[in-house]
A and B are shown apart, each in its own frame.
Chain A
Amino acid sequence: MFIGHFTEEPWQKEDWPVEWGSGVMAVSNAEYDPVRASNLYHRYIDEKVYAEEMGFDGIMVNEHHSAPFCMNGVANVKASILARVTNKAKILLLGNILPIHDDPLWLAESLAMIDVISRGRLIPGVVRGGGSESLTHNIPPHYNRERFEEAHDFLIKTWTTPGPFRWEGKHFHYRYVNPWAVPYQKPHPPIWVPGTSSRETVEWCARHRYPYIMLASQIDLTQQMYQVYYDTAREVGYEAGPQHLGFMFFFHVEETEERAIEVGRTLTQGVRSPYDPGAQRPKPWIAGPPGIATKSARALRRKMTAADSSGRTRAGARATFEDQVATHGMVVGTPDSVIPKVRYILEQLRPGTIIFRTGDGAMDHESQMRTLKLMGEEVMPKLREIADELGLPGPYDIDPMTNEPVTAMAS
C-alpha cells in the first residue's frame, strides 16, 4: 500500500465573492496579494514537510494555470523545493501538463535535476490538462493528445537513450538532444497518471502499465474506470493488480465526530476546484475547447456524467457535504470511525495506492496539522495492516512494469 498526501493549495481569503467560484480564467490577477501568497506557499510547504514526518509515502503536487484554486502555476517549482527539504517521501507530481509545453526538453532537464537532487524520489506523473491550461499557454487544444503522446515518448527517450540523438517529430524538433542531467532512477522515474473519467486516458495508461490514480470521489465510476484498465491490460497480455490502481478522496479526522463534521465541512468551502463535487464548473468552451476531446470521448463523457432518474448527476455536481460524506466521497470522522469507512473503500476498489486529500478548501493550518498528526499516529498504521490483510500491494511493493516484487529500490 502506497499512502499519499495531497492539498490543492487553494488561494484563501475570507471575502472571496461567491460568484467568483474557482476563479479559473475569471478573476484578474490584480487580486493576487503576494504577501498573502508567500504565507500560503510556506504554510503548504510546512504541511508537506510535516506529512512526511507523519509517515506518508508520497507528497502529491499538481498544477493549474490562471486558477486561484491551485496556487501552483508551476508544480516543478514546488517539486524542486521538496527535493531538498524532504528526504524520504516520494515527490508525486500529478502532474506535468505535457501538451502545453512547446519545448519538452525543459521538462526533461528540470525533472532529471529534481530526481537527482531528491536522490531518486520523483514520480513525474503526466496529464493532458483541461482546456484552460491550453488557453492560458495558447497551445493548440486540437493537438492535445498528439502532443501528450509525442512529449511522453520524447521524455522517455531522453531519459533512457545516451545522447546525443536527433528528434524530428510532428510537434517537437531537436537536432542535439544530450542534456547534462539524466534521472537518478533507472531506467527512468516511474510515470503515474491521474484521471477523472476519460476512457482513452485509462486505456493509454494500461497499455503503458502506468499506475492510474482516479481523482473522482465516486466509488462506482471509479470501479468502471478500473474495469477499463483491467480489460485493456488483458488485451495487452498482462494481469493488472492493485499496484496499477490508485484512488484519491477527501479526508478529515478529529478527536470527536462533531468536531470532524464541523471542521471537515471547510473542505467544501472557500476557493474550490471546479472539478470538485458541488463546485461550479468552468464554462464549457473554456473546459473543452474545440478538438481537445474526440467526438467519441465527448459522447462517452456526456453519458457517464448524465443525471440519473433522481436528477443527480453521477459526477455529483450538486453534491452537498452531507451527500459526499454519505457516499464515501469524503471520509470524515474520528480515528475509530474513519477506519471502517476507508476499509470499505479498500474492499470495494482494491487500490494499491490511496491519496488523502486534506487541508483543502477553506481549512486552516491548525486543523490540517491536527488531522495529519492523527493520521500519522492512529490512522495510517491501521490502514497498512488492513492493506496487508486484503492483499493490496502498492507500486513500491509490486513493480507495475513487471508484476515482480520490488526487492531493491533504485533510490
Chain B
Amino acid sequence: MTNSPAAFTEETVDIAGISVQLRSGGSGEPLLVLHGELGVPDWLEAHELLARHYSVCVPSLPGFGTSSFPDWLMSVRDLSAWVNWFVRECGLATPLNVVGFSMGGWIAAELATTNSALFSKMVLVGAAGLKPREGEIWDYFLNSAKDAFQQSFHDHESAQYLKYYGRDWTPDEAEQVETNREAAIRYLWRPYMHSVTLPDLLPAIATPTLLVWGRQDGIVPISSCELYQQGIANAQVAVMEDCGHMPEMEKPEEFANTVLGFLKG
C-alpha cells in the first residue's frame, strides 16, 4: 500500500436533475461506485486502490452528502431510475462496471433486472434489498447514528473506523450524519430495506455478478447473500473473514484485490 496522497477531484455538478456531489479519480474504463445508506464520508482508500486500474466515479446519491434531494425521489426504484439517467448524462461509456454497497447494491440489482445492457460486471457488497431467510436487517431507526457505525464494523480498532466514526463528531459532521439519515429513511422505510418483488426478478439478471459479504455483517445478515446467489445465475461469492458490513473501510486492501480479481478475471 502506498502513502501517496489520493489523486481525486471533488466537485458539485448539475446532472440528471440533481446538484450532485461527485468524487472521481483514476483513469481507464469507468467504474461506478454506489454508496450505502450511511453515505460516503470521503474519497476512501478503497476508491484509491480501485482508481489505479479504473476511472472511479463516486456520486453522493440524491439526499446524501451535499447532493440535493428533490421531493420526487421516494423509493429505491426511483433512485435506480435516477442512476440510469446519471450514467447517461455523465457520458459514462456503457456497459460499465459497478460496485454497490448495501443500499447501493440494491440499486444496482434493481437496475440489472431492468437493463442487461447497462453493466458489464456488477459487485454487490453486503447488499440490502432482500428479506433475509434468517435474521433481520438491523434497524437503523430504532438506534442512534453512533450505534449504526458501531454495528457496521466488526473491528472497532480498524483505522478507518477510528478515523471517521469511532470518535466525537464535529457539529458539522453530526449534521451531515443526520442529513444522510434523512435521505436513507425516505428510501428505506417500508418495507424496511427490502423489496417484496425483487426476489422474483433476480433471475432476469444476466450481468456477471460478484457478491462480497463480511462474515460478521451486522447490518444485512449473510443469509441474504445466499438468496442473491440463488437468484442470480452464476453469481460468485467472496466472503471476507473477520469483517463486518463495510469491508471497503474495514479491510480496504483485501476488498480492492477481491473486486479487481473479479473485474479483471
Contact = CB atoms under 8 A, between A and B. Distances in A.
Interface of A: 25, 135, 138, 140-142, 283-286, 289-291
Contact of B189 (A25, A142, A283): A142
Interface stretch (B90-98, B139-147, B237-245): B139-147
Contact of A285 (B143, B184, B186): B143
B190 A285 contact: no
A25 B143 CA distance: 12
B185 interface: yes
Interface residues of B, number: 13
B152 to A, nearest CB: 16
Contacts of A25: 142
A138 B185 contact: no
Contacts of A291: 182, 185-186
B142 A290 contact: no
Contacts of A290: 141, 178, 181-182, 184-185
Contacts of B141: 135, 141, 285, 289-290
A290 B186 CA distance: 9
Contacts of A284: 144
Given A290-B178, A290-B181, A142 B144 contact: no
Interface string B169-196: 0000000001001101110011000000
A89 B224 CA distance: 57
Nearest to A141: B185
Nearest to A283: B144
Interface string B28-53: 00000000000000000000000000
Contacts, number: 34
Nearest to A146: B71
Contacts of A286: 142
Nearest to B148: A285
Interface in B120-156: 141-145
A361 to B, nearest CB: 28
A142 B145 contact: no
Q: What 7 pairs between A and B have smallest CB-CB spacing? A: A290-B181, A290-B182, A290-B185, A291-B182, A140-B189, A285-B144, A142-B186
Given A290-B178, A290-B181, A140 B144 contact: no
B19 to A, nearest CB: 17
A289 B144 contact: no
B142 A135 contact: yes
B186 A140 contact: yes
27 contacts: A25-B142, A135-B141, A138-B189, A140-B185, A140-B186, A140-B189, A141-B141, A141-B185, A142-B182, A142-B185, A142-B186, A283-B144, A284-B144, A285-B141, A285-B142, A285-B143, A285-B144, A285-B145, A286-B142, A289-B141, A290-B141, A290-B178, A290-B182, A290-B184, A290-B185, A291-B185, A291-B186
Nearest to B178: A290
Contacts of A283: 144
A289 B189 CA distance: 11
Contacts of A135: 141-142
B17 to A, nearest CB: 19
B174 to A, nearest CB: 11
Contacts of B189: 138, 140, 142
Contacts of A140: 185-186, 189-190
Residue in B144, B145, B189, B190 with the greatest tally of chain A CB atoms within 10 Å: B189
Nearest to A138: B190
Contacts of A142: 182, 185-186, 189
Nearest to B139: A135
A299 B181 CA distance: 17
B63 to A, nearest CB: 10
Contacts of B181: 290
Contacts of B145: 285
Given A142-B185, A290-B181, 4 more contacts: A135-B141, A285-B141, A285-B145, A291-B186
A289 B181 CA distance: 9
Nearest to A170: B71
A135 B185 CA distance: 12
Interface string B101-125: 0000000000000000000000000
A345 to B, nearest CB: 37
A25 B189 CA distance: 18
A146 to B, nearest CB: 9
Nearest to A284: B144
A78 B93 CA distance: 64
B37 to A, nearest CB: 11
Interface centre among B141, B142, B178, B184 (most CB of A within 10 A): B141
A283 B145 CA distance: 12
A308 B186 CA distance: 36
A285 B177 CA distance: 13
A286 to B, nearest CB: 7
A96 B236 CA distance: 52
B265 to A, nearest CB: 40
A24 to B, nearest CB: 12
B178 to A, nearest CB: 6
A54 B182 CA distance: 49
Nearest to B189: A140
A140 B142 CA distance: 13
Interface centre among A135, A142, A290 (most CB of B within 10 A): A290
B190 to A, nearest CB: 6
A285 B140 CA distance: 10
Nearest to B143: A285
B54 to A, nearest CB: 33
B188 to A, nearest CB: 10
Contacts of A138: 189-190
Contacts of B190: 138, 140
Contacts of B144: 283-285
Nearest to A288: B178
